[in-house]
Amino acid sequence: MSDQGNGVLDSIKSVLFPIHPAGWPFIAAFAVVAVVLGMFSDFLGWIGLIATGWCVYFFRDPERVTPQRDGLIVSPADGLVQMITRAVPPAELGLGPDPMDRVSIFLSVFDVHVNRMPADGSIKRVEYRPGAFLSANLEKASQENERCAVLMHLEDDQPLVVVQIAGLVARRIKTDVRPGQEVSAGDRFGIIRFGSRTDIYLPEGCSILAIEGQRMIGGETVIADRNAREGVRVGRTS
């Protein structure tokens, strides 16, 4: 195969692989259905093959390069910044009624759904709460939808919260961290399937560098800086 062909294959592999372990049962099921459909109709077989390809694409878990510097907080998820506001963190974490800066990231079914830790620190609480499956782009989804809230303390003991929120299509939240665990920025900590939202509640004193409408890359895009003192950023569509 030519160098150009090898380059194309390498590019495809870098996008589709590795696959998150949670995806293999679904990929296998889609593939079996595709084979069965193909026995009845070539057209249905192609539909099944396309669906299987989409399933592989959905559960992709690409490597990321996480910026390293004191004070940086990176995005916990791929997706679009839907809103930036102040809100009270989930009650089950016991942080009290004081609001924190919250950045909400909406994940479509085409985004990588693997969640990553936004900073170095230690996990203090992991609290799952069942709930509704409203569209994840609604404000009330933060309070009413099924969710798993993770409270971590940064190295100076300040709290930071990441919440995995189920959406209209999402029906399963998987969280792979536990209280007492030490984590680093960019570490994988769970996955949501299939469309969803991830909220991050930031400690006081952060400069929020994200803007509404900006696309985030989980584990890479800097969402806030605890050491910066710049003003609020505004965006412009271009």
In a domain, 84, yes or no: yes
Catalytically active residues are 196
Burial class (CB in 10 A: 0-12, 13-18, 19+), 74: buried
- What CATH number corresponds to the domain at position 122? 2.70.70
Rounded to an integer, the average pLDDT of 108-126 is: 93
In this prediction, residue 208 has a pLDDT band, given cuts at 50, 70 and 90, of very high
Same domain, 23 and 95: no
pLDDT of the residue at 1: 54
80 strand-pairing partners: 106, 215
The whole-angstrom separation of Cα 198 and Cα 214 is 14
Residue 201 covered by a domain: yes
Query: Residue 141: what pLDDT?
Result: 72
Same structural domain for residues 212 and 102? yes
User: What is the mean pLDDT of the segment spanning 34-47?
Assistant: 91
Is 60 exceeded by the pLDDT of residue 222? yes
Quick check: is 17 in a domain?
Answer: yes
pTM for the structure as a whole: 0.84
Residues 44 and 160 in one domain: no
Do 79 and 167 belong together in one domain? yes
Which residues touch 134 (CB under 8 Å, ≥6 apart)? 140, 141, 144, 145, 167, 168
Half-sphere exposure of 64 (CA within 13 A, CB side): 27
Q: Specify if 231 maps to a domain.
A: no
Classify residue 66: in a domain, yes or no: no
Say whether both 105 and 149 belong to one domain: yes
Q: Which of 36, 58, 80 is the last residue before a domain boundary?
A: 58
Q: Is residue 126 part of a domain?
A: yes
Residues 53 and 76 in one domain: no
199 and 81, same structural domain?
yes
User: Is 174 found in the same domain as 91?
Assistant: yes
Q: 59-96, pLDDT tens digit by residue?
A: 889 999 999 999 999 999 999 999 999 999 999 999 99
Whether the pLDDT of residue 57 is over 80: the answer is yes
Q: Which amino acid is at 232?
A: V
Q: Are residues 87 and 141 in the same domain?
A: yes
Determine, yes or no, domain membership for 234.
no
pLDDT of 232 reads 74
Does residue 63 lie in a domain region?
no
Length of the chain: 238
Q: In the structure, what pLDDT confidence band is assigned to residue 236 with cuts at 50, 70 and 90? A: confident
Please tell me the total count of domains within the chain. Answer: 2
pLDDT at 134 over 90: no
Give the structural domain span for 206.
Answer: 72-225
Tell me: do 87 and 199 sit in the same domain. yes
Report d(CA 68, CA 23) in Å as an integer. 30
Q: Could you tell me if 191 and 20 are in contact, meaning their C-beta atoms sit under 8 angstroms apart?
A: yes
27, with CB counted inside 10 A (0-12, 13-18, 19+), is middle
Same domain, 83 and 43: no
Query: Same domain for 28 and 141?
Result: no
pLDDT at 228: 82
Report the C-alpha gap between 67 and 218 in whole angstroms. 11
